[in-house]
Structure 1
Amino acid sequence: MDQNTDPNAAAPAGTVAPYDIARIMQAIPHRFPFLLVDRVVEIVPNVSAVGIKNVSINENFFQGHFPQHPVFPGVLIIESMAQTAAVLVVETLGPSAQGKLVYFMTVDSAKFRKPVVPGDQMRVHVVKEKQRGNIWRFNAEAKVDGKVVAEATYAAMILDK
């Protein structure tokens, strides 16, 4: 999705309506301070999703990471990828996702290309690689201003609460 696209415009064919923060909180159990996706602007069920994380200096981890040079922690970039994927899983499974949680299993090939800092809008592009039973595998890229800042391949397991 182009960064200049109106987030309130109608969804392209094959996609579902964007998820605002209230809908995200209905889909996944994460809450402040660990909810790391603010909006999901594009979802193609069973295929891909694009989430947005607006990085703000008000986030508590910047007090220690690092006070003189605040940098969004890489592990939280990966978590933002996982939460975007969890929304994709919930949308794909529909009503059968009720009462289930998406648990991280593996993270492979994580690479951090450029620091993410307060004021950045991180766009997380997640693509489902494969699914076997209750195990899903994803590829993801996080971008700021259209440039890749991080990438990873990871797997998750879908289980009852």
Structure 2
Amino acid sequence: MSDRTLDIKGIMAAIPHRYPLLLLDRVAELVPDEGCIGIKNVTINESFFQGHFPTDPVMPGVLIVEAMAQTSAVLVVETLGPDARGKLVYFMSIDNAKFRRPVVPGDQLQLHVKKVQRRMSVWKFTGEAMVDGKVVAEATFSAMIRDR
């Protein structure tokens, strides 16, 4: 990967997600048209921990996959550059999702995504979410970029 990074302002300029569903704090590495690594710092202040589960907080697996998808959306926008302004990246499919261990407050998710293929407006990715160098979740997913 490269040392190209994005802070939260760059992420918010790239994708439309906002609190409480913005699940990406930083992009640590990005290589356009190849892959990137996103960072999500998991804290007890996340709104989903109020109900999942109050006495034993665990980040929902579907939100881990969403964080991987948001990382991929940033990759798409950064790859397409000015052509992506005003467009949205929509989830199309999730395949082979696996969850290896719970993600809890205090964990830092490293979201490793790689482009597998691109056909016109449809992109396919593989993703791994890691905590302390260990895979906690993985999935293959696709998305479509379209006008708002």
Q: Residue 22 of structure 2 aligns to a residue in which SS?
A: coil
Structure 1 residues not aligned, in runs of 5+? 1-11
Q: TM-score, normalised by structure 1?
A: 0.90
Pairwise CA distance, 1:99: 1.0
Q: Residue 85 of structure 1 aligns to a residue in which SS?
A: helix
Q: Contact between 1:37 and 1:51, CA under 8 Å: does it hold in 2?
A: yes
C-alpha separation between the residues in 2 aligned to 1:143 and 1:17?
A: 20
Deviating above 3 A after TM superposition, structure 1's stretches of 4 or more consecutive aligned residues are none
Percent identity between matched residues is 66
Query: Which of residues 145, 152, 156 in structure 1 aligns to 2:139?
Result: 152
Question: Which residue of structure 1 lines up, in the alignment, with residue 86 of structure 2?
Answer: 99
The yes-or-no answer on 1:112 pairing with 2:92 is no
Matches within 5 A, 1:1-161: 15=2, 17-161=4-148
C-alpha root-mean-square deviation of aligned residues, in Å? 0.9
Cα deviations across residues 12-34 of structure 1 (Å, max 9, x unaligned)? 6xx36210001100000000000
C-alpha separation between the residues in 2 aligned to 1:18 and 1:146?
A: 20
Q: TM-score, normalised by structure 2?
A: 0.98
Question: Which residue of structure 2 lines up, in the alignment, with residue 8 of structure 1?
Answer: none
Structure 2 residues not aligned, in runs of 5+? none
Q: Contact between 1:138 and 1:154, CA under 8 Å: does it hold in 2?
A: yes
